[in-house]
Structures are given as C-alpha cells and as structure tokens.
Amino acid sequence: MSIDGLGDDEIRAILLNTSRIAVVGASANPARASHEVTGFLVGRGFAVTPVNPGLAGQQIHGATVVASLAEAGTLEMVDIFRRSEEAGAVVDEAIRLGARVVWMQLGVIDQEAAARARAAGVTAVMDRCPVIEWGRLGLARGA
C-alpha cells in the first residue's frame, strides 16, 4: 500500500475525472520536474493553471502563470511542487478554495496536512507523480 493509502482505482479515477489542475510551484525551467509535469498535463487536455508568484503573467506550455492559488479560478486538483514543510499551507488553501484533490509530488509528504484534507472531504495524494501514475496505469486521454 502506498503512503497515501490510495489504490490504483482511486488514482485512475482522479486522473480520468479531473479537468482543472493548478500546479503550485510551476517552473519555466525545462530541467525542472514541475515544468515537465505541467507540459504533460497540458498535452493530455487538462486545463492547467501554473502558480508561481515570481513568474506571474508569463506563459508555461501556453498556460498563463498566476501569482497565487486563489487566482487560479475554479479548482478540482492542486498539484503541489513545494517542500514537505511548505505543503501544509498549500493544502489548507486548497481546502479553503474548494479543491476536491490535493496531489503532493514525489518526495512531498505531510501526513497532518493529508489528514486535514481528508477530514474536509478532499482526497489527498502523497509522494506520487501524475506522469508516472499515468504511464503505470496505462491511461489514454488527449495527445
């Protein structure tokens, strides 16, 4: 069992039933994982809003970067590229803004934040990458 307690069916359902994703910590640097993941999600037809205050107004993979999660509009999933000790604040904001899924990237683990999300009815994914899960599950959608 994974650290987040979610099985393949739950991850598959998240990836196939989500259309709007905010990527917190998105980077314009092609060498960064957040840049690659943002491009992957855009290429699969998701409506992606990159979130990075230092890049606000710029484009990453054709998507306009916003400065804060609150500016990302209607949220379904928040993909978090922040250090584990910073993830909790993002999770709390995602809960407040009505996201239905928080997805903490590989190496990002905050059990207390995940528990707060679950208590609020939000699915919490931890220590996973949607690109890896997509391939592992053999999913097909978009490009």
For CA atoms 16, 13, 48, 4, give the dihedral sign.
negative
Domain assignment present for 3 = no
Please give the average per-residue pLDDT across 79-99, as a whole number.
97
Give the three-state DSSP class for 36.
helix
Domain assignment present for 25 = yes
Q: H helices of 18-129, where? A: 33-43, 84-97, 111-119
Domain assignment present for 74 = yes
Residue 142 above 90 pLDDT?
no
Range of the domain at 96: 8-137
Residue 143 above 90 pLDDT?
no
pLDDT tens by residue, 58-74: 999 999 999 999 999 99
Look up the CATH number of the domain holding residue 68.
3.40.50.720
Q: Mean pLDDT score of the chain, rounded to an integer?
A: 95
pTM recorded for the entire structure: 0.95
pLDDT at 2: 84
Residue 120 above 90 pLDDT?
yes
103 strand-pairing partners: 79, 125
pLDDT at 141: 63
Number of domains in the chain: 1
Residue 1 above 70 pLDDT?
no
